[in-house]
Amino acid sequence: KRPIIIDTDPGIDDAVAIAIALYDEQLDVRLITTVAGNVSLEKVTYNAMRLMKFFGKDIPVAAGADRPLIKEAIDASDIHGETGMGGYDFEEPDMDKLLKEHAVNAMYKEITNSVQPITLVPIGPLTNIALLLRMYPEVKDNIHEIVLMGGSTARGNAGVMAEFNIFADPEAAKIVFDSGISLTMVGLDIGLKALIYPEDSQQLKELNRTGDMLYQLFQRYRGGGLKTGLKMYDSTAIGYLLNPDMFETVDAFVDIELEGSLTKGCTVVDLKNYTGNKPNVTVAVDIDPVQYKDWLIECIKKCI
Ligand code: BDR
Ligand code: CA
């Protein structure tokens, strides 16, 4: 099994990613860390604990950064609702099970103590990962790779050019992209094609408790605008780990724009090597939408 740490801000699409990761036989989810993003740290942590209770799993959860490194916090409650994961009547979680230590320290311990190198899967703003790399640079030696959901080769969803997870904390993203760790970026190019339509959602509902829970959450995702297809961004990073054949990728030099008055927080992806810089990122540039949807449904079938 491949040991992973998921760094997340649940988040409706985060919930899908977590469900898939927890029940896939190839993955060993060692730790879940939370970061302020879609909604506040308090809310995303509560949501992560609600998911653990729902799934009956005792995977450790640790709360991390409650704000970006430099920028003021933004949120995406317009997409995910006030609570970040509304629409399903979850049981009260056991909040006393939340680890007492900060996510960065919990990650450090897990990475250092692991016999097998750890894969990090960040599906929220990169604040925790940046802090980890600054506080404990030695963890690099035992990180197998980072596969993250974030960025875009073209348009944005938080600004004209910027994707939400990068835009939320661009300085943190810069630290991660410059780290030299093997990095795969599964960004908007993929998320915009990873769509679940109302009929797929209905199919999920009939599958099992998890499918029903996701169906209910989807009724609130983007205020319930189901017809155009819901973007399942975060699950695509897990999809890349489990089924890379669904993707087309290009190795490219990627940098984070920190200054541009119109472009701050965008990923500058040099697909044609204009800069002459060595590629530092494997960029997922395409996915087959039908394959993706079938894959997602098969994964949810494995859940409770
Ligand atoms: C990313 O932003 C968040 O709203 C989603 O959870 C996802 O991680 C998509 O841009
Ligand atoms: Ca997310």
* pLDDT tens, residue by residue, 88-138: 999 999 999 999 999 999 999 999 999 999 999 999 999 999 999 999 999
| pLDDT tens sequence across 252-266 | 999 999 999 999 999
Compute, in angstroms, the gap from residue 164 CA to the centroid of ligand 1.
6
> How many other C-beta atoms are found inside a 10 Å radius of the C-beta of residue 250?
16
Does ligand 1 come within 6 angstroms of the Cβ of 189?
no
Distance CA 145, CA 261 (A): 32
Does ligand 1 come within 6 angstroms of the Cβ of 221?
no
| Amino acid letter, 55 | F
Report helix, strand or coil for 148.
strand
From 44, 165, 185, give the residue whose CB has the most ligand 1 atoms within 8 Å, as the site to mutate.
Answer: 165
Helices (H), the chain: 12-23, 41-55, 77-80, 103-113, 127-135, 164-168, 170-177, 188-191, 198-207, 209-218, 235-242, 289-301
Does ligand 1 come within 6 angstroms of the Cβ of 165?
yes
Compute, in angstroms, the gap from residue 173 CA to the centroid of ligand 1.
14
- Burial zone of 121 (CB within 10 Å; 0-12 exposed, 13-18 middle, 19+ buried): buried
**Mean pLDDT value of segment 13-30:** 98
Output the residue whose Cα is nearest ligand 1's atom 10: 164
Q: Can the peptide bond before residue 87 be classed as cis, meaning omega within 30 degrees of 0?
A: no
Closest by CA to 10, choosing from 86, 68, 84, is: 84
| pLDDT tens sequence across 62-98 | 999 999 999 999 888 888 888 889 889 999 999 999 9
Predicted TM-score (pTM) of this structure: 0.97
Contacts of 189 (CB under 8 A, 6+ apart): 152, 153, 154, 283, 284, 285, 286
What values do phi and psi take at 183, rounded to 5?
-130, 130
pLDDT at 249 > cutoff 70: yes
| Atom of ligand 1 minimally distant from the CA of 157 | 10
Q: How many residues does the chain have?
A: 304
> Are residues 222 and 79 in contact, defined by beta-carbon separation less than 8 angstroms?
yes
Does ligand 1 come within 6 angstroms of the Cβ of 75?
no
Prediction ipTM score: 0.99
Return the ligand number nearest the Cα of 6. 2
End-to-end CA distance of the chain: 20
> Are residues 69 and 99 in contact, defined by beta-carbon separation less than 8 angstroms?
no
Compute, in angstroms, the gap from residue 275 CA to the centroid of ligand 1.
29
**Mean pLDDT value of segment 224-231:** 77
